[in-house]
A and B are shown apart, each in its own frame.
Chain A
Amino acid sequence: MLMRAMPSSTDVKTGGIALHSLQKRYGAAMAVDDVSLSVSPGEFISLLGPSGSGKTTTLMMIAGFEMPDSGRVLLDDKDITRLPPHRRELGVIFQNYALFPHMTVAENVAYPLRMRRVPKAQLEARVNRVLDQVHLGAFAARRPHQLSGGQQQRVAIARALVFDPPVLLLDEPLGALDKKLRQHLRNEIKTLHRDVGKTMIYVTHDQEEALAMSDRVAVMHEGRIRQVSAPQDIYRRPADLFVASFVGEVNLIPAKLRSGVAHGPADETLAAPAWSDGDMDATLCVRPEHLHLGTGEAAAPGIQGHVTGMTFVGDATIVEFRSNSGLQLTSKVLNISAGAMLGVGDNCTASWATNDATILTE
């Protein structure tokens, strides 16, 4: 389902959001702890984190439903921290959409315009236009409960877009849906972003969603932002152990960095990128698809061990590996050819390319 370009009323880029050291405390618990973030106009940014990480609280502070204990929220350099939600002119798409059950689709979409006292003729024209844009023109007279999950999402989008806010806030809109539909709607939202060019702040606990849709991802944990980067960098260059293990699968290998060389648990030499901080103990992060298991003399230097299990998952095979020093590692091998692979019990060496490892010290 494609959404054609929605004309934006402004040519000047608006919709920049800046958060300055937001803090929010619930009783003794710090829900949001010193969160600062700058979102440029037109950017798609995700707040990613497990439940209780403060991502929804942060979004609700932007929307105006939660007051920060300290810190400021700026919209295009205007301080909106204390502005009540209905005067912020931000579009919000809620979890489960929060469509009004006692109104038709058209009445739902007209709601923000009614609240702004838009004249009737203009109101109808705008509602019809936006409903056509989300391909729901034929459903205008229906009630929300008569629509499918995907159609409900499009009503929610239409309702949030009809008053042309510069920013859309999305609170886990795909949370309650099944996997197939989720992937489909993910693409719709992404297309929408490309077409309308509005700033979007998207809260999710689904890392795949965040990586697939965003220009940048902000990973949150225990009320703090741990890393803000492009999806590729979040995955390939995690800033800390939490980000490394929360986003994707990862092998964590304890390493001793001594005079320019990384040493493994059994003192074997490990491939690692250059570092500058002198000798230290660290952890090497290697993604399973970067971990190679080789046999014989040709194998690159790495960790000696044997295969303990193999799981076929369709496109790939997950190989469980146990080093002689007792370290459990995982390798993901794409099933490109049906050729003979390793078997359980085979001795082999685990290795990786220098640039595929990340050094984390924590």
Chain B
Amino acid sequence: MAYTISSTEIQKTTRALQPARPTPWAWLMLPGSIFLAVLFVVPLGWLLLLSFGAPDWTIAHFVRIAQNPAYIGVLRTTLQISCVVTALTFVLSYPIAYALTTGGTKLRTFLLIAVVLPFFTSVLARTFAWVVLLGRNGVINEILLQLGWVSQPVALLYNRIGVIAGMTHVVMPLMILPMLTVMSSIDQRLLRAARANGASPLAAFLTVFLPLSLPGLIAGILLVFINCLGFYITPALLGGVSDVTITMEISAQVVGQLNWNFGAALSTVLLVAVMAVLWLGSRFFPIEQLLGFSDDKIGLDKTARRQMGTQWLMRIGSAANALDRWLPSMGGRGIPIFASFLAVLLLLPVVIVAYLSFSASSYFVFPVPGYSLQNYERYFSDPLWLRATVTSIRIALMATTMATMLGAMLAFGLSRGRIRGRGAMIALVLSPIIMPTVVVAVATYFVLVQVGLQGTEFGLALGHAVHAIPYVVVIVVANLRDLNPTYERAARSLGAGPLATFRTIIAPLVMPALIVAAFLAFLISFDDVVYVLFLGIGRIATLPMRMWEGITQDINPTIAAVATLQMVFATIVIFVNTLLGRRKAQS
């Protein structure tokens, strides 16, 4: 006994020498990892087994995909759309991210609102905005006709144009935010140094800023491309018969034809494609760094070590410099103006929906013939809409509780605990964000059926919690990095026990992050359509589900009111977030 005590004493002293206290913290990861194992890893494994026809093993389903031109066509469509959207998003996002980094305070505030507000508005609401914009009697056709540029409405909706416009709009924030993270870590003095050494503004951009922003570009392109491959809502609502993507085919097979094995095979193909892109991307950029898990600054060292083939940029920059004397001076206003224009485009769909929601007409007419609150009255007086809202809130509260508790514990464990396989643990926790939602939802459905939880609100909340946990973890981890362990040591030295330290030091300092994380988890559950489509099996009518049905059936103006209310809610979340952030900055 005496020996045991002394050996733990020794362990304690050696541990005290390490920067953070190890093992006890690691136990906090247990509940969260069990949850994710049962509701994420097991379902995906199950999916894989099903795709190989378990228990009667076969590769027939994959052979069928490879041999049937219809499915090859679906894969090609998915790839085409993803490539075009990614390229377009990149071109439109870079100027915004650049102006966000280099612009003045007012410009930055405006651009940030233009990026963040759509980001927090539900995908469904934004896609609905495009239905309203692009339809035969939509806003754009209305304007074109009134200007006399066209004699009859142009087909913009239910074809490739609609899909690409809508998807680009939806994914732009995903491109801008990682770019911004990397760009804002670039020392602006380097640009001055380039100018002092004889580089024109254009040459300084090409030889210094662009190469240093490359990691952000790669991360953004990766994120957007992966997202496009697994996108469901927008192509399903805006596309036509020739724009069937792989996710729509999965849905058709699993929900429509109850062809589970073939649906699983298609899901596996999508999953493998996403993994391949991720693997390729991770060779250029450490993805977990972007999500805030790295201990050092966003990979300047990494890029510095890597010859990223920027020699040709140097050559172009040097050539641009020679031209400088003949190029007209743009006075440096071009980029802010262009970025602001793009930001207005980013905001416009959201704003137009809000505008149309106050229309006095029962149809979508642009401009509105008069203002009224009838759409809101219809929403608040319709028991179906209200019941759907209450259902959504109930499910979101369940999901938020689970995700926040488990996510917070995971975050503490990951940032304070020292265990082997921490990298694998981080990958596990983050993958629900990166894996296509449709695939995860289908897989979860297969497992929930086994225990009879399909079509129940609790089952749906479990799915939502899996999807929300990564966001909670990322937010709390980012906050814990600021929480200096010295505070806790100081509290301990002043006589506080472990519990008192938690109550008086850790809890108050982490609370703002937890509140933000909980709001975000709530929003994720509240806005979700994909999980409801698969796990709700037509029995659960959440608010987004009602909207989805409304959009696919009769494009009812009440939806505009609901979408606007959703946006207002998102704005409140952003507002609370900024408020808490500001309070933290002040203290």
Residues of A within 8 A of B (CB): 63-65, 84-87, 89-92, 94-96, 98-102, 107, 111-112, 114-117, 143, 145, 159-160, 163
Evaluate contact between B189 and A102: CB separation under 8 angstroms: no
Tally of B interface residues using CB under 8 Å: 32
Evaluate contact between B194 and A143: CB separation under 8 angstroms: no
Q: Per-position contact with A for B283-324: 1 when CB-CB < 8 Å, else 0?
A: 000000000000000001101110010100010011001101
Least CB distance from A141 to B in Å reads 11
What residues on B are CB-neighbors of A89 within 8 Å?
198
Asked, given contacts A85-B196, A111-B207, A145-B301, whether A117 binds B187 with beta carbons under 8 Å apart, the answer is no
Evaluate contact between A63 and B196: CB separation under 8 angstroms: yes
What residues on A are CB-neighbors of B73 within 8 Å?
none
What residues on B are CB-neighbors of A163 within 8 Å?
197-198
Q: Per-position contact with A for B175-216: 1 when CB-CB < 8 Å, else 0?
A: 000000000000101101111111111011001100110000
Asked, given contacts A117-B318, A117-B321, A143-B304, whether A95 binds B198 with beta carbons under 8 Å apart, the answer is no
CA distance A299 to B407 in the complex (A): 80
Asked, given contacts A85-B195, A96-B189, A98-B190, whether A114 binds B318 with beta carbons under 8 Å apart, the answer is yes
What residues on A are CB-neighbors of B207 within 8 Å?
111, 114-115
Least CB distance from B207 to A in Å reads 7
Least CB distance from B537 to A in Å reads 53
Asked, given contacts A98-B189, A102-B303, A143-B305, whether A116 binds B198 with beta carbons under 8 Å apart, the answer is yes
Evaluate contact between B303 and A91: CB separation under 8 angstroms: no
Chain A: which residue is nearest B193 at the CB level? A98
CA distance A95 to B189 in the complex (A): 9
| B interface majority secondary structure | helix
Evaluate contact between B305 and A86: CB separation under 8 angstroms: no
Partner of B196, one of A91, A95, A107: A91
Evaluate contact between B197 and A112: CB separation under 8 angstroms: yes
Evaluate contact between B300 and A115: CB separation under 8 angstroms: no
Partner of A100, one of B193, B195, B308: B193
What residues on B are CB-neighbors of A99 within 8 Å?
193
Asked, given contacts A101-B212, A114-B318, whether A90 binds B194 with beta carbons under 8 Å apart, the answer is no
What residues on A are CB-neighbors of B303 within 8 Å?
101-102
What residues on B are CB-neighbors of A102 within 8 Å?
208, 211-212, 303-304, 308, 310
Please name 28 pairs of A and B residues whose Cβ atoms are closer than 8 Å in the assembled complex, sorted by A: A63-B196, A64-B195, A65-B195, A84-B195, A84-B200, A84-B201, A85-B195, A85-B196, A86-B198, A86-B324, A90-B196, A91-B196, A98-B187, A98-B190, A98-B193, A99-B193, A100-B190, A100-B194, A101-B190, A102-B208, A102-B212, A102-B303, A111-B197, A112-B198, A114-B207, A115-B207, A116-B198, A163-B197
Asked, given contacts A84-B200, A143-B305, A163-B197, whether A65 binds B300 with beta carbons under 8 Å apart, the answer is no
CA distance A85 to B194 in the complex (A): 10
CA distance A116 to B190 in the complex (A): 18
Chain A: which residue is nearest B311 at the CB level? A107
Least CB distance from A355 to B in Å reads 45
Partner of A94, one of B192, B304, B317: B192
8 tightest Cβ-Cβ pairs between the two chains A and B: A98-B193, A92-B196, A115-B198, A112-B197, A85-B195, A98-B189, A114-B318, A115-B199
Partner of A115, one of B187, B190, B197, B211: B197
CA distance A302 to B100 in the complex (A): 66
CA distance A114 to B312 in the complex (A): 12
Least CB distance from A171 to B in Å reads 9
CA distance A86 to B195 in the complex (A): 5
